[in-house]
A = this chain, B = another copy of it.
């Protein structure tokens, strides 16, 4: 029942935004009585805090899954890896996170929760991008290229909320793969074959 309430909260954030998300709507959507909802989460804030944590878990699982898919596929080109990252940053999870992010900007209590969470996500996304792209994160220009690429991905996520931006994004990513291949330093080989 907790999981159902949290999923309903996220769905509600995606469909109606922060302001349109109410505990009444969430309990209706989850098919849970108001009494039961209040028992699990006495306030909107508590409901959202738990759901955001749930969102973070989903997000990490999502990135990890994409990573594993890429590894299984072996010959994962830079272009394919960039496509996986872009899919991640234009997903419903990104949209829900954007709603929280913007709401937190003008809500000090929410900011206290969202700020460290976004920082943690940022670090996790960076670590995965470095691993997926197979580049050397200790090389400052390469590190900056990965960071800038992730900020670009967030820009893509933002652009995609207003209209389907996939064609423009696809064209940029095709050129971007060449940019990365030409400018990023590959990671040192792991000791395995040495």
Instruction: From known contacts A17-B102, A179-B183, A183-B182, infer whether A158 and B162 are also in contact, taking CB-CB under 8 Å.
Output: no
Q: Chain B contacts of A144 at CB under 8 A?
A: 171-172, 174-176, 179
Contact residue among B19, B95, B140, B141 (Cβ-Cβ distance under 8 Å from A19): B19
Instruction: From known contacts A106-B16, A115-B162, A152-B148, infer whether A141 and B178 are also in contact, taking CB-CB under 8 Å.
Output: yes
Asked whether any CB of chain B lies closer than 8 Å to the CB of A93, the reply is no
Are B150 and A155 neighbours in the complex by a CB distance under 8 Å? Answer: yes
Interface size on A, residues (CB 8 A): 50
Q: Chain B contacts of A151 at CB under 8 A?
A: 151-153, 155-156, 159, 172
Give chain A's interface secondary structure class.
Answer: helix
Are A17 and B105 neighbours in the complex by a CB distance under 8 Å? Answer: yes
Instruction: From known contacts A155-B155, A172-B151, infer whether A104 and B179 are also in contact, taking CB-CB under 8 Å.
Output: no
A16–B111 Cα distance when bound, in Å, is 13
Asked whether any CB of chain B lies closer than 8 Å to the CB of A103, the reply is yes
Q: Chain B contacts of A99 at CB under 8 A?
A: 102
Interface string of A142-183 (1 = CB under 8 A from B): 011101111111111011011100001001101110110011
